[in-house]
Amino acid sequence: MTDIAAELTPREITRRLDEYIVGQQKAKRAVAVALRNRWRRRQLGAELAADVYPKNILMMGPTGVGKTEIARRLATLARAPFVKVEATKYSEVGYHGRDVESMVRDLVDAAVQLVRTEKLKEVEGRAAAAAEERLWHAVQEAAGLADYQDPRGFGAAPWRREPALGAIDPAALPSPEELAARERERQQLRADLATRRFEDRTVEVQVRDTRTPTLSVMGPQGNETMGIDTQALQELWGRSSGPKHKVRKLTIAEARQILHEEEADKLLDMDAIVQEAIDRAQNDGIVFVDEIDKIVSNGGTDGPDVSREGVQRDLLSVVEGCAVYTRYGHVRSDHMLFLAAGAFHFHKPSELIPELQGRFPVRVALTSLTEADFVRILTEPKNALARQYVALFKTEGVELAFTPDGVQKLAAIAFKANKTTQDIGARRLMTILEKCLEDLSFAANEKRGQKIVVDGKLVEQRLGDAGDDADLIPYRM
């Protein structure tokens, strides 16, 4: 686990989660302890640490109350590999569809991308310098100001000098004044390139061909599950998977970005990245399994219930620990943290197969959001909806402001709509706010320099009491 984990005490984790998620303190405390236990396990000896398994968590609660956000923010805090999957997308082994083990492969892919991104930041400076040098050579070639080579060979390396084919007319050689003027022009061109003065100019550069065709073997679950190494097959058949290059005409801005990526890739040690990614996936990875209540069997012995219970059995083997074959080799899931969530409207957690229940020893019930929670969601989090709309309108030169009574009215309408129609949690606020500000947002570019105040009167005028779109009410199911 990264060094930052040592600073993430359970209290600190809860505080940081509070910056984005309103309420749900029980769930925050449970995930905070689970995350801290991972750091504690790292401090143990290897023999004891191997027997300390994560306490997986089952979160129960209606949609839109923060289950997914808690898991996502937790992974971001710990800089841990994270993947969110829907339990309903999987099918039992032998049926058509994705198998449960693919979630581990997705996690490893996410881990490799995470580590690669971190390593790219470390080589940012060297990659930028190398890319700038390649771009400079392309620009001076396009401008006809490449390094001057004396026809007699002077100025070139001895091994690059070519014998003169005949007498050279001295009058054809540039004068010292012309060479000095050429050098001044080159220096000015380089200064302009450094200050980004002609980013829209087109230049020809040699870049890696990212469209190089690769061999793909079609299978029901992909190449990894079939144990096929397509790269080895390509090399065996003479279709090397090595990089190919081509010349492209690009603007200087586009060329700089592409060359920067290529130079950064040259500085990376992919073997070391993969090794670190596998370690972090196995020991720090977090898998969030959503909609787990949808794979609960209704008790039938045929039809889709058979597959649902089969998915539970397959999920059990992954959660309790097994070796999964990935494109990077075998990866074990013994110490991955699994967070499962479901609304459980029509089923109970006790209806899951007993073995799977035992693999989620920590259970947390999340509560429905109240009107007071809606008020806090609109204003308190760092990414609060009110702040987002203020920033969006500011891009049009319009000052948008929310008054306390306006926020209170929006919260009241959202809470009422959840009670009278379908409870979709905090997502109801998005519907209400978008409907309230739709006309204002449509004409925002025409109100540059103005100030718009969203108060209780404006909300009442645009939404009334229900906050429903009158045109949609007749079509409600």
> What SS3 state is found at 249?
strand
CB 397 within 8 A of CB 46: no
Residue 422's pLDDT is: 82
Tokens read off for 263: 């130079």
Instruction: Supply the pTM of this predicted model.
Output: 0.76
CA distance 318 to 331: 11
CA distance 199 to 75: 38
In Å, what is the CA distance from 178 to each residue of 114, 264, 462? 53, 38, 73
Residue 225 has pLDDT above 60, yes or no: no
How far is 77 from 12, CA to CA, in rounded Å? 10
Rounded-to-5 percentages of helix, strand, coil across the chain: 55, 10, 35
* Confidence tier at 63 by pLDDT (50, 70, 90): confident
Averaged pLDDT, 413-423: 86
Query: pLDDT at position 216, please?
Result: 52
Q: How far apart are alpha carbons 258 and 264 in whole angstroms?
A: 10
Q: How confident is the model at residue 277 (pLDDT cuts 50, 70, 90)?
A: very high
CA distance 413 to 429: 9
Query: How many Cα atoms occupy the beta-carbon half-sphere of 138 within 13 Å?
Result: 24
As a whole number of angstroms, the distance between CA 153 and CA 213 comes to: 43
pLDDT of residue 141: 76
pLDDT at 415 over 50: yes
Cα–Cα distances (Å) from 37 to 7, 13, 48, 151, in that order, read 13, 12, 14, 72
- Higher pLDDT: 242 or 320? It is 320
What is the structure's pLDDT at 353? Answer: 87
pLDDT at position 168 over 90 = no
Tell whether the model's pLDDT for residue 202 goes beyond 90: no
Say which amino acid occupies 15. Answer: R
**What is the pLDDT averaged over residues 276-291?**
91
How many other β-carbons are positioned within 10 Å of the β-carbon of residue 34? 20
Q: Report how far residue 66's alpha carbon sits from residue 365's, in angstroms, rounded to the nearest whole number.
A: 11
% the chain with pLDDT above 70: 79
More confident residue, 175 or 352: 352
Cα 211 → chain centroid: 23
What span, in angstroms and rounded, lies between the C-alpha atoms of 33 and 13?
9
Token readout for 97 is 């569809």
Mean pLDDT of the chain: 80
106-115, 233-242, 406-415, 424-433: segment of lowest average pLDDT? 233-242
State the pLDDT confidence band at 161, using cuts at 50, 70 and 90.
very low
User: 255 Cβ partners below 8 Å, 6+ apart?
Assistant: 135, 138, 203, 205, 207
Residues 360-379: pLDDT tens digits?
999 999 988 889 999 999 99
With 60 as the cut, is the pLDDT of residue 101 above it?
A: yes
